[in-house]
């Protein structure tokens, strides 16, 4: 039986119950062929699709991570033996091999149905700049789908595929997600190979993922992830750092009130305020940040020589056949010819200075929250003012790749007019998994339906974690506690406070002789033990060695049992160090003993 929802959890359950990939694909190809949104440019021939599906029919559904999962490919990403148009019929070519990420997804069991519509040469955030027709929003055909990955978003939101690939240079993987009630992952640049992708700005491009749920996006990301030695911009994933598990405190940045822009839409203003309140309810502490340097960075993307990267890709083609290029795209691309090498270096120098300024904000926050787009325009409005309104759409997105951030767009609310509103969570590069973790918690809390399907969020089990978090937790009980003299040894190593708690009732606590500084010692005892007040801190594993190296004898790091029965690395004391020490167990903690002196 065909599942009502194509999310990965529901689809996997249907396969376990006996559904065959060939049955599903035959059904979906008919559904896709009837699409009226201008979401698709081309479909794979039925024979080829059924051959791929039939090859899976005899396999165990548990044998592949994306067994029989249907997906769509933005038509600037290569699929072997199938035309790539980049939204321009006269530019089309037939690649001999698939893009690196497409190869990995097919190897994981996913089945590509075809190629989706886009703003030509991935130049635009609205979805109207295509000779294949303006892609219509999944909720209201009068409204834009968002772009440039327009068809990729609409195909998922309409329940035609489980996920899709897009690209994101300026917001193309996030704006369409917001306008179609989807999760849109813009990975850290270089983590998903761009080999086999028609570049927009090659130094900034990222392959993006559209999915019905954050958990689905994580599963696809895990399958597509991998260093590609043949892609000069590929880089290995690094330990991702801090997580956002339930109960973990975190700080999130939001732009100052006067820096928010909704371009006349008062409804979205209120919905964003509600989104801030919701993130606070998930454990976040709101911190206002100065959005000015991010906006200045955004202006570099189209107001500076990065446009020349777009011209560089199609220079020979556009000079030879300018009439083949969509008018607005032609105007933007040819405008890059005015930039000189001097202009380029000026822009690089300005960007570097802005990176330094923006880096300061991350000392105070763990993640930032913004609207994904301030206002959702109609197709008619964008066609009347194609450049200005497209610029508005990039207000919260254009800076992201220039500053090397990872981002996840998530649904936030449904408006009274039936259109979705979305927000974006973003953080420095390699924070993709923590962002998806927070996005999954967010999505569960909003209780919105999936895309435009009307289906509800399924219960999701554990998912693969393709990259270690690279963090170490340590329990401290003395001068390293918050506000005490040695706490700087944690904070200067980018440590953060996770929790205030107590040990299991198995310890004696001492004020050691000697000093200064005054030092405590925790010793595990067989009887008459007590619970000792602790703080749990988390710091990068790369910093843990230098922290431990600075601990003087008789103290050291061992395993400390907590009140909940779990164990964590923490300060312990050698029994030989208790000579002349004062037993202060009765105080229950270092702060209480200090206050008694």
* CATH number, residue 571: 3.10.490.10
Average pLDDT on 246-255 reads: 91
Catalytic residues: 74, 148, 172
For residue 542, the model assigns a pLDDT of 85
Write out pLDDT tens, residues 318-334: 999 999 999 999 999 99
Please report the DSSP string for 465-498 in residue order: --S---EEEEEE-STTSTTSTTTHHHHTTT-EEE
Q: Are residues 423 and 476 in the same domain?
A: no
| Bridge partners of residue 301, in order along the sequence | none
* 240 domain residue, yes or no: yes
Same domain, 425 and 495: no
> Could you tell me if residue 175 is inside a domain?
yes
Q: Is residue 360 in some structural domain?
A: yes
The answer to whether residue 468 scores a pLDDT higher than 70 is: no
In a domain, 363, yes or no: yes
Please indicate, yes or no, if residue 325 is contained in any of the structural domains: no
Same domain, 502 and 438: no
Residue 58 lies in domain: 8-288+346-446
Q: What is the pLDDT of residue 246?
A: 83
pLDDT of residue 304: 75
Return the closest-CA partner of residue 71 out of 157, 185, 156. Answer: 156
- Final residue belonging to a domain, choices 396, 413, 446: 446
How much is the average pLDDT of 238-256? 86
Number of compact structural domains in the chain: 2
pLDDT digit string (tens) for 24-44?
A: 999 999 999 999 999 999 999
**pLDDT classification of 497: cutoffs 50, 70, 90:** confident
Shared domain check, 197 and 92: yes
Say whether both 442 and 476 belong to one domain.
no
Q: At which of 446, 463, 492 does a domain end? A: 446
Q: Which of 127-131, 512-516, 572-576 has the lowest mean pLDDT?
A: 512-516
107-159 confidence digits (pLDDT tens): 999 999 999 999 999 999 999 999 999 999 999 999 999 999 999 999 999 99
The whole-number pLDDT of residue 557 equals 93
Q: Which residues are CB-neighbours of 498 under 8 A, at least 6 positions away?
A: 248, 249, 473, 536, 537, 538
CATH of the domain at 281: 3.90.1300.10
Q: Does a structural domain hold residue 265?
A: yes
- The lowest-confidence range among 89-98, 481-490, 534-543 is 534-543
**Helix 214-224, helix 8-16: angle, nearest 10:** 80
Say yes or no: 525 and 583 in one domain: yes
Averaged pLDDT score across all residues of the chain: 94
Could you tell me if 424 and 480 lie in one domain?
A: no
**538, 429: one domain:** no
Q: Of 446, 481, 516, which residue sits at a domain end?
A: 446
User: Do 377 and 486 reside in the same domain of the chain?
Assistant: no
Tell me: pLDDT of 336 over 90. no
Q: Looking at the structure, do residues 438 and 570 belong to the same domain, yes or no?
A: no
Q: 477 and 442 in one domain?
A: no
Give a yes or no: residue 227 inside a domain. Answer: yes
Residue 515 confidence (pLDDT) = 74
Q: What percent of the chain has pLDDT over 70?
A: 98
Global pTM? 0.86
CA 297, 301, 302, 304: dihedral to nearest 10 degrees? 80
pLDDT at 467: 63
Q: Does residue 378 share a domain with residue 267?
A: yes
Q: Establish if 294 belongs to a structural domain.
A: no
CA distance linking residue 33 with residue 11, whole number of Å: 21
pLDDT higher than threshold 90 for residue 64 = yes
Kind of pairing between the strands at 111-116 and 70-74: parallel
């Amino acid at each position: 039986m065909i599942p009502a929802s194509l999310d990965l959890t529901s689809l996997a359950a249907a396969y376990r119950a006996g559904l065959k990939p060939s049955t599903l694909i035959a059904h979906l190809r008919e559904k896709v062929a009837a699409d009226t949104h201008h979401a698709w440019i081309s479909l794979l021939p039925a024979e080829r699709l059924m051959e791929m599906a039939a090859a899976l029919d005899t396999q165990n559904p548990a044998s592949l991570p994306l067994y029989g999962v249907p997906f769509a490919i933005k038509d600037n990403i290569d699929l072997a033996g199938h035309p790539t148009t980049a939204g321009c019929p006269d530019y089309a070519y037939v690649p001999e091999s698939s893009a690196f990420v497409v190869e990995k997804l097919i190897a994981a069991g996913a089945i590509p149905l075809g190629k989706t519509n886009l703003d030509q040469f991935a130049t635009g955030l609205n979805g109207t700049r295509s000779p294949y027709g303006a892609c219509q929003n999944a909720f209201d055909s009068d409204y834009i789908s968002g772009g440039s990955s327009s068809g990729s978003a609409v195909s998922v939101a309409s329940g035609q595929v489980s996920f899709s690939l897009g690209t994101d240079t300026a917001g193309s993987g996030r704006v369409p997600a917001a306008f179609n009630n989807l999760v849109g992952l813009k990975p850290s640049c270089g983590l998903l190979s761009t080999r086999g992708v028609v570049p927009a700005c090659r130094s900034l491009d990222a392959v993006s993922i559209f999915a019905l749920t954050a958990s689905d996006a994580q599963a696809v990301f895990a399958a597509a992830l991998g260093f590609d030695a043949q892609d000069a911009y590929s880089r290995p994933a690094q330990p991702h750092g801090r997580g956002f598990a339930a109960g973990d405190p975190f700080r999130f940045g939001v732009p100052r009130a006067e820096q928010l822009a909704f371009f006349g839409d008062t409804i979205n203003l209120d919905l964003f305020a509600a989104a801030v309140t919701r993130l606070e309810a998930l454990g976040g502490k709101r911190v206002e940040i100065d959005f000015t340097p991010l906006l200045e960075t955004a202006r570099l993307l189209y107001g500076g020589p990065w446009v020349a990267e777009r011209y560089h890709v199609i220079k020979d083609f556009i000079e030879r056949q300018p009439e083949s290029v969509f008018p607005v795209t032609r105007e933007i691309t040819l405008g890059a010819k005015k930039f000189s090498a001097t202009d380029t270096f000026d822009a690089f120098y300005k960007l570097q200075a802005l990176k330094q300024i923006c880096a300061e904000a991350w000392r105070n926050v763990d993640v930032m929250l913004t609207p994904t787009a301030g206002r959702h325009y109609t197709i008619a409005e964008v066609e009347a003012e194609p450049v200005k309104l497209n610029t508005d759409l990039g207000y919260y997105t254009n800076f992201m790749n220039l500053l090397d951030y990872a981002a996840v767009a998530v649904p936030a609310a449904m408006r009274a007019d039936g259109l979705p509103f979305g927000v974006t969570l973003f953080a420095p590069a390699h924070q993709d998994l923590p962002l998806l973790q927070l996005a999954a918690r967010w999505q569960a809390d909003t209780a919105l339906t999936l895309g435009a399907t009307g289906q509800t969020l399924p219960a999701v089990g554990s998912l693969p974690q393709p990259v270690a978090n690279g963090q170490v937790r340590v329990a401290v009980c003395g001068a390293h506690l918050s506000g005490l003299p040695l706490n700087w040894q944690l904070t200067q190593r980018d440590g953060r406070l996770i929790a205030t708690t107590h040990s299991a009732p198995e310890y004696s606590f001492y004020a050691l002789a000697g000093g200064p500084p005054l030092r405590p010692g925790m010793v595990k005892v067989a009887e008459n033990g007590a619970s000792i007040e602790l703080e749990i801190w988390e710091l990068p594993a790369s910093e843990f060695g230098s922290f431990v190296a600075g601990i003087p004898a008789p103290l050291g790091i061992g395993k400390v049992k907590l009140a909940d029965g779990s164990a964590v690395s923490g300060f312990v004391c050698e029994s030989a160090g208790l000579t002349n020490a004062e037993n202060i167990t009765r105080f229950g903690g270092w702060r209480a003993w200090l206050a008694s002196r």
